[in-house]
Every structure is written in C-alpha cells, then in structure tokens.
Amino acid sequence: MTTTTNELQTKGEAAKRASRELARASTAVKNRALLAVADALLDRADDVLRANGHDVQGGQEAGLSPAVIDRLTLSRGKIEGIAGDVRTVAGLPDPVGEMIDMRTLPNGLQVGRRRVPLGVIAAIFESRPNVTVDIASLSLKSGNACILRGGKEAIHSNRALAAVIREAIGAAGVPQEAVQLIENTDRALISEMLKMKQYIDLVVPRGGAELIRFVAENATMPVLTGGIGVCHTYVDKAADLAKAVPIVHNAKTRRYSICNALDTLLVHEQIAPQALPEIARAWSEAGVEMRCDERALRILTQAEVPGLNAKPAAPDDFGREFLALVAAVKVVDSLDDALEHIYTYGTGHSEAIITEDYSAAMRFLDEVDSAVVYVNASTQFTDGGQFGLGAEIIDSTQKTIARGPVGLREITTYKWIVFGNGQIRPA
C-alpha cells in the first residue's frame, strides 16, 4: 500500500465512521459548531494569513498567473467575509429530519420518508482556499462528513483552515473526524479517491472544465457537477425592446466570468433590424465583442453603430462558453429555429426568451430542456441565493441528484421509516 493510499484509506474510513455520529447531531449542536468555526476563523486569522502568505509566495516563485494568485490570496477582510458566510449557513433551515409523505396504510403501518444526510461528501477543488470553509460548513449543516482535496498551491492555507475548523467543531461537540483534509496534493491521488465508493457517497468537483470532466468520467460514486453553461437569450419577434435591451445587456455584462452569463444571443429576423443596433450600442460601450452570423453582421454594419465591436463568428463560437466580454450572435427565422439552435448547442444551464407573445413564452418554457428557463428576465438570476435556497453549492446541469442551483436539501437523501405493530405481508 502506498503512502497515498494510506492517507486516503485512513481518512476515508474516519470520515465514514464520523458521518454516523454527525448524522444524528441535532440542529442546535450543528449550529453551535458552525458559530464556533466563524469565531475561530476570526480569532486565528493571523495563523491563517501566515500560512496563506507561504502559499502566495510559493505561487509567485512558481510563476502562477496574477489571476490565480488573486484567487489564492486571503486578507483579513476576506476572512471576515468567509466567517460571515459560515454564520449565514448556521442561520439556514436544517433539511435533515424533514418528513415527506407520511401516511397510514390500510393495514395500520405508518410509512413515510425522513430526510437524512448522504454520509460523506468529497470535494475536489483548485486554488481558492475559501472553498475549504464553504464545503465544510455546508456539509456540516446538512449532517454530512466531508473529505476536502484542494490544490497544491493552497495547501498551507487549507491546512491552517482545516485545523481551525476541526478544533472548533470538536470543542462544540461534533466529531473532528467529520472534516478531513487530504494533504497529499499529488494529482494521481484524485484517481485513487474516485475509486473509494465505500467511503464517499457523493463527489463534487469545483474547478475548471478539465477537472470536472475527469471526475465525471472516472468516479465510481455519484458525481454532482455544474458551473459550466452555454447560455442563450432569444429575442422573439414580439419582444418589447424596452425590456429586451436591458435584459440582454445585464445577462452578458453584470458579470461575464460566471456560468449563467449570456454566451449566445438569438434574434428573430423580423425584430433584428431594430433590436440588434440597440443592443450593439449598449454592448459596444461596455466593451462586448459580438461574433455574428452573416445576417446579424450585415444588419449591424448597415446600422452604423458608433464604436461597433463586431466580426464574423467562427463555427465553434456557437456552443462556446466565453467567460469574457464576448457574445455569439445569430439571426433566426422563427421560434422553432431558436428552439432547434438551443437543442443543438445548449448545455442545459439557463436560457431566456424575451417576448410579449403569451404562446411563444409558454412554448419556450415547455420545450427548452434546461435547468432554468426564463421569460423576460436576465439569466444572471440563476443562483441558489436568488432563488431562495439560502446557499449554493453549485449550479448543476445534471438531471439527476439535483438540477440548477443546489442548496443544502439537495445534498441529502431520505430513508423510508415504517412504524408497525406486528404487521406481516399476506401471500
């Protein structure tokens, strides 16, 4: 057995065992532990910042990009933010224990489902050390033990944060072993982890597309993925441009580096001559580059938009997640044409129609098979906080386990409980 396997085995087994105790912890105990974690993060901010300093220095020496260094770097302000997030989680409703469909059968058996934790959640993530606290607190609140495996560039920070969390929850009466940090940051270890279905009930990859794909393809246990979306907004011929232009603008520019941002704009040919120049004016001012199909480009060129930032789309611009101030733009012949485009190129994340036509709106809601489908609103609303889930673990583009924004309830399961008084089943 290699050292790697040894650490994984030991910590996996410890997490699984601790999950049995944590599953029975009351909401009061779990909340007390979470508040203790928030306090401890502030009390021990100096230790965490010192450890983080090592990582930042190491990252700079290793020549990591400024963007990665930025995600890696903690500050007292960021730690206060993280502690605040933990307090927010403490304040959320506890999904565990919820009773579903309890009923009495004709034979007197009382049967229902009780919401219970999954057991052990493993998270595999990259350079943001705040994910360590985030996953630990959401797991704890939902009664799940967790196994955290962050990137090697953040290992000192993650070690310091995990130590703070473990001590705080231990002192509050929750088993320390319910939070496990894998300290070996060898990449080969991820493959090993993905085989440990005896200890891990769900694995959540948080990071780039390559990591997510690797985990989805190699995990032997259920995977919850998300965070990747090619989002479409379709401006119908019956759109009200006073709504369409601000919505399209917001969907692209409010934040462009998140998964619910607009990637492709579809515009009905009858409204394109009015809509496209108006949208182009707003976008050009904000620095959005438009990659257009032939018809869209012709309309824009003829419209003489000041400062127009448009060029022909490459074939792979449709179906591409830009995460940048770039949008693909296409003129479509009809609603059917738009639906077919979304069916072909969409990733099932978030799509919107802008229309005043009731039947067109209803058809779009019915026929677009995405996690979130909007009428007359910005796709940037796709978010667990916005939708009232309190927290968001991920935006799922899966159809099973959970779809769309994933909150605490979605990282639990249920068991059937049956109260009898001697019932046997007739032949």
Alpha-carbon gap, residue 154 to 417, rounded angstroms: 43
Residues 177-206 binding its own copies (CB under 8 A) are 201-202
CB of 206 to its own copies, least distance (A): 18
> Do the Cβ atoms of 414 and 114 come closer than 8 Å?
yes
Asked if 367 is part of the footprint of its own copies (rule: CB under 8 A), the reply reads: yes
Alpha-carbon gap, residue 84 to 86, rounded angstroms: 5
What's the token pair of residue 214? 């690797």
Asked if 358 is part of the footprint of its own copies (rule: CB under 8 A), the reply reads: no
DSSP class of 115: E
Exposure of 316 by Cβ count < 10 A (0-12 exposed, 13-18 middle, 19+ buried)?
exposed
Alpha-carbon gap, residue 404 to 233, rounded angstroms: 17
CB of 319 to its own copies, least distance (A): 13
By beta-carbon proximity to its own copies, the closer residue of 64 and 342 is: 342
What's the token pair of residue 376? 């007359």
Alpha-carbon gap, residue 98 to 121, rounded angstroms: 20
Alpha-carbon gap, residue 234 to 312, rounded angstroms: 19
Asked if 26 is part of the footprint of its own copies (rule: CB under 8 A), the reply reads: no
CB of 173 to its own copies, least distance (A): 17
What secondary structure does DSSP assign to 391-409, as a single string?
--SEEE--SSS--EEE-GG
CB of 369 to its own copies, least distance (A): 7
Whose tokens are 């990137």? That residue is 151
Alpha-carbon torsion (176, 135, 16, 413), positive or negative: positive
Specify the stretch interacting with its own copies by CB under 8 A; choose among 43-51, 162-170, 239-247, 327-335: 239-247
Of 164, 133, 141, 129, nearest to 47 (Cα)? 164
By beta-carbon proximity to its own copies, the closer residue of 181 and 393 is: 393
CB of 381 to its own copies, least distance (A): 5
Specify the stretch interacting with its own copies by CB under 8 A; choose among 20-28, 87-95, 294-302, 309-317: 20-28
By beta-carbon proximity to its own copies, the closer residue of 20 and 50 is: 20
CB of 71 to its own copies, least distance (A): 20
Asked if 387 is part of the footprint of its own copies (rule: CB under 8 A), the reply reads: yes
The SS3 assignment for 228 reads coil
- Which of 43, 47, 294, 369 is the binder for its own copies (CB under 8 A)? 369
Asked if 344 is part of the footprint of its own copies (rule: CB under 8 A), the reply reads: no
- Which of 127, 132, 264, 398 is the binder for its own copies (CB under 8 A)? 398
- Which of 157, 309, 370, 397 is the binder for its own copies (CB under 8 A)? 370
Residues 41-100 binding its own copies (CB under 8 A) are none
Specify the stretch interacting with its own copies by CB under 8 A; choose among 3-11, 60-68, 230-238, 359-367: 359-367
- Which of 247, 259, 329, 408 is the binder for its own copies (CB under 8 A)? 247
Alpha-carbon gap, residue 73 to 48, rounded angstroms: 11
Asked if 414 is part of the footprint of its own copies (rule: CB under 8 A), the reply reads: yes
The whole-angstrom distance between residue 331's C-alpha and the CA centroid of its chain comes to: 31
Of 86, 106, 252, nearest to 179 (Cα)? 86
Site residues (vs its own copies, CB under 8 A): 20, 23-24, 103, 105, 109, 111, 113, 116, 118-119, 201-202, 217, 220, 222, 240, 242-243, 246-247, 249-251, 254, 343, 365-367, 369-378, 380-382, 386-388, 398-401, 403-405, 413-425, 427
